Every structure is written in structure tokens, then in C-alpha cells.
Amino acid sequence: MNLVSCSVVSNHEVSAGNFLITLQVPRSFARPQPGQFVHLRVGEDIEPLLRRPYSLEGFTERGALRAVRVYFSVVGRGSGVLARQEKGTKLDLIGPLGIGFTPRPRRVPILVAGGRGVAPLLFLSRRLRERKRPYVFLFGARSRTDLYGVREIRGGRLHLATDDGSIGYEGSVLDLLEREWTGARHTPLTAEIFTCGPHGLLHAISDFARERGIRCEASLEGPMACGVGACRGCPVPLLPGPDSGRYPAMCVEGPVMDATIVDWARLP
């Protein structure tokens, strides 16, 4: 277990209720893979006691300085406390944790983000760009103000969708995926999907992928307690098949998992 202290470099609200926090971490924090997460103590006080899991939006390394970024929404007590942490505050975190995305060589990665789920996919897109790999980024949100990070997406082909039509296609990012798949003539041997977003969207994308035999990895965001495989508090139900009856722990066998075997209807 890699517990490290960290300090807040910056923390600001990028859109209503959504924050970007940058945390300086020591050299003992291993270079993370996109899709991995940290289990973060959100404040200096004893309460809230439990850490909160957050995917990494990015990781930077300049000389001896290392920093991680987390893009988060205020949804309850813990995230509310995190939003109030100011520059210089000392926190700690465990990480990097879990399994990240695993793009295969010679396949076009199609990244499909829903709302706040864009965070780990932005990280993945930067890694792909560093490796000069072409990719497609499909990003859907309620409105244009929820499209965090679009200007960061470079080196790939980007398509946007909004529910209110304020920018890009008016409708679901799933429609964009259907259009991309047929329009660009991808096949399961030439392309694969990486996705993160609300579970309803991930469920629909995994059905899309399973029906067509497409490899599809999703980053799950269920409730977690220990974050390191000790409490059995984050079981992922699987569909009938070779693995049915097994409940992999989301924190150690995920959060990135084969989306086509997850039983989304039974996921908490």
C-alpha cells in the first residue's frame, strides 16, 4: 500500500460545482497509468473519516516535482470538504491504485466520455498523443459549460454532443459512437472503445460493444470503502458466462474493466 503525503498546489471551480485540484506528490508516488485512481483524505480534520476514490485527470513530472490532478464534482460531504481545501493544505493519499486502461497496439482507440467521466479519458488521450497514436474522442455532456477539457484534446479527432444542442450534435454521445462506427468503417479488429461516465451510459455502450464483438473497457465508479481489496465492499456483478458467480473487487480488479461482462443492471 503506497500511502503518501501531498499538498494542494491549486484548487479552483471550473464550472458550477466542478473543481480541478492539483496535488503535489513525492517521488515515491509511482508514475500512474490513465484509469488508475487515488484514495484521498479530503481534509485535515478527522471527519470525514473515510477516504474518497478519485480517478486521475493527469500527472505531471518536472525535475523532482511530481503532481497529480483530479477533476471532481461536489455531490456530498466529502467532495464538499475537498472543494474548500486551499493552496498549501497538507493531505495524504493512497495510490496509484487499481487497473488502468490497456490500449492494444495497432487498433484505433475510440474514447467515449460522458460528463465528468471525461477526467481519466483526458489523461489517456494525452498518453496516446505522447506516443503519437491517432485516436477518436467522442464527448457528450448536458451543455457546453459541462464540456471540461475540450481544448486539451489534441492529436485526435474530436466530436462533441450536448443534450441541449448548445454545441456539437444535439443528443447522446451514444449516437456519435454509432455514427463513428459505421461512418469510419471500424471493425472489432481495427478499433476498440474506452469509456467513462454515468452508469446508464456505460451500460448502453457495453451493450453496443457486446452486440458487435468490440473490445470495450469502462472505468467504473461505484461506492468504495478501503480501496485496497481488504473489505469486499466493492463487488462487481458479472453477466452469466465463464466468470459468473465471481464478484471481482472494483478497487483491485478495476476500476477499468471489460465493460461487456459487467452486469450493469445489478451494479450498485
Ligand X SMILES: Cc1cc2nc3c(=O)[nH]c(=O)nc-3n(C[C@H](O)[C@H](O)[C@H](O)COP(=O)(O)OP(=O)(O)OC[C@H]3O[C@@H](n4cnc5c(N)ncnc54)[C@H](O)[C@@H]3O)c2cc1C
Residues that bind ligand FES (CB under 6 A): 224-227, 229-234, 249-251
Amino acid found at 142: R
Catalogue the E-assigned strands of 44-126.
Answer: 52-55, 58-62, 65-73, 90-97, 108-114
249 is written with which cell numbers? 473487487
Residue 99 DSSP symbol: B
Give residue for cell 475537498.
Answer: 82
- Tell me which of ligand FES, ligand X, none is bound by residue 119, counting a contact when its beta carbon lies within the kind-specific cut-off of 5 to 8 angstroms: ligand X
State in angstroms the smallest separation of the CB of 63 from ligand X.
27
- Tally Cβ neighbours within 10 Å of residue 202: 24
State in angstroms the smallest separation of the CB of 40 from ligand X.
9
Measure the CA dihedral 3/4/5/7, to 10°: -120
Using CB under 6 A, which residues numbered 60 to 79 contact ligand X? Answer: 70-73, 75-79
- Residue 109 vs 149, nearer CB to ligand X: 149
Is residue 149 within 8 A of residue 118, CB to CB? The reply is: yes
Using CB under 6 A, which residues numbered 193 to 252 contact ligand X? Answer: 221-224
Cβ-proximal residues to 198 (8 Å cutoff; 6+ apart), any chain: 114, 115, 117
State in angstroms the smallest separation of the CB of 66 from ligand X.
19
- Residue 220 vs 234, nearer CB to ligand FES: 234
Residues in the interface with ligand X (CB under 6 A) total: 21
Q: Which among 51-59, 85-93, 142-150, 238-246 is the span making contact with ligand X, rule CB under 6 A?
A: 51-59
- Tell me which of ligand FES, ligand X, none is bound by residue 255, counting a contact when its beta carbon lies within the kind-specific cut-off of 5 to 8 angstroms: ligand X
- Tell me which of ligand FES, ligand X, none is bound by residue 52, counting a contact when its beta carbon lies within the kind-specific cut-off of 5 to 8 angstroms: ligand X
Amino acid found at 125: S
- Residue 48 vs 156, nearer CB to ligand FES: 48
- Tally Cβ neighbours within 10 Å of residue 10: 12
CA 263/CA 261 separation, integer angstroms: 6
State in angstroms the smallest separation of the CB of 250 from ligand FES.
6
- Tell me which of ligand X, ligand FES, none is bound by residue 180, counting a contact when its beta carbon lies within the kind-specific cut-off of 5 to 8 angstroms: none
CA angle in degrees (0–180, nearest 5) for 110-113-116? 160
Residue 176 DSSP symbol: H
Using CB under 6 A, which residues numbered 80 to 139 contact ligand X? Answer: 116, 119
- Tell me which of ligand FES, ligand X, none is bound by residue 73, counting a contact when its beta carbon lies within the kind-specific cut-off of 5 to 8 angstroms: ligand X
State in angstroms the smallest separation of the CB of 194 from ligand X.
15
Q: Give the rounded distance of the alpha carbon of 116 from its chain centre.
A: 8
Residues that bind ligand X (CB under 6 A): 37, 52-55, 70-73, 75-79, 116, 119, 221-224, 255
